[in-house]
Amino acid sequence: MPENDDHESDAVTPHEVTGVPQETPVGDEVVVDHESDAGAPTEAIEPVAALSAESDSDADADPGEFAEDGDPESASGAKNPLAVAAVVTGALLLFPIAIILGHMALAANKRGEANNRTIALAGTILGYIGLAAVIVTGLVALLVVQPSVDAQNSDTNAKSDVITLGNALVAATVDDDEVPSGWDAGAAWAQLDANGAMELATQPGFTVSGDTAYDWCLILTYEGGNDTVVAYSPTAGLVNGSTCS
């Protein structure tokens, strides 16, 4: 019996082996004992089953779920043809269509359904800049260019009317070599206007001086032009100014 006691005292428990990590189950974790003669701390290792479950959960997750909103690299990988269409229509000066397509492309990118957010943004900005340029150009044309064109047209129409009315007066003086008594320039203009021969929208003012067929002067005054008066005589023809001399 003393010999058996000696063998039992010689047995070494697992924890008594130095330099070899020991595994001890603690709840759902396995604790590895790194303690040695140097007294290293223990380290807890997560169960393999828990790690496998987390890996499966990450694999099933939506690729766009963890992506930043609007990040082209985080989209599902689909192209964004609306973005390209926005740039193309903007280049073709179809600015309202470019704006609509650009916003649709940005919305698709925000939902994670497409990428190319930069192109979509470029198409949208191009549409807005182009539309603003068209509006500014239209306002300039309306406020600056058009009044100038209208004034030039009024001057041209007034010159045409005074020549037409002067030729009518020349025809009236052929028989007697003098201006007919009581010849009314306003009535003559109205008759010619009724026949579609006059250009001014409203009847201008008239002044006729001189008596003979060769010294009379027809002066026409009007509004809306760069000039306000033009004259005509049988000898000098069309004269810019208020006199025929």
Give yes or no for residue 66 having a pLDDT over 50. Answer: no
- Give the model's confidence band at 175: pLDDT under 50 very low, under 70 low, under 90 confident, else very high: confident
What's residue 124's pLDDT?
A: 95
Q: What is the number of domains present in the chain? A: 3
236 and 156, same domain (yes or no):
yes
Inside any domain, residue 2: no
Mean pLDDT (the chain, rounded): 77
Pick the last residue of a domain from 112, 139, 166.
139
Mean pLDDT of 144-170: 91
Inside any domain, residue 160: yes
Inside any domain, residue 145: no
Inside any domain, residue 49: yes
Pick the last residue of a domain from 89, 109, 139.
139
167 and 110, same domain (yes or no):
no
Inside any domain, residue 5: no
Q: How far, in Å, CA of 66 to CA of 61, rounded? A: 9
214 and 156, same domain (yes or no):
yes
Distances (CA, A) of 211 to 139, 169, 176, 233: 51, 12, 11, 12
- Give the model's confidence band at 181: pLDDT under 50 very low, under 70 low, under 90 confident, else very high: confident
Q: Which domain holds residue 43?
A: 12-59
154 and 235, same domain (yes or no):
yes
Question: For residue range 208-243, what is the model confidence (pLDDT) as tens digits?
Answer: 988 888 889 999 999 999 999 999 999 889 988 878
Residue where the block lists tokens 């940005």: 106
Pick the most confident of 3-12, 21-30, 118-127, 143-152.
118-127
pTM > 0.95: yes or no: no
Distance of CA 17 to the CA centre of its chain: 80
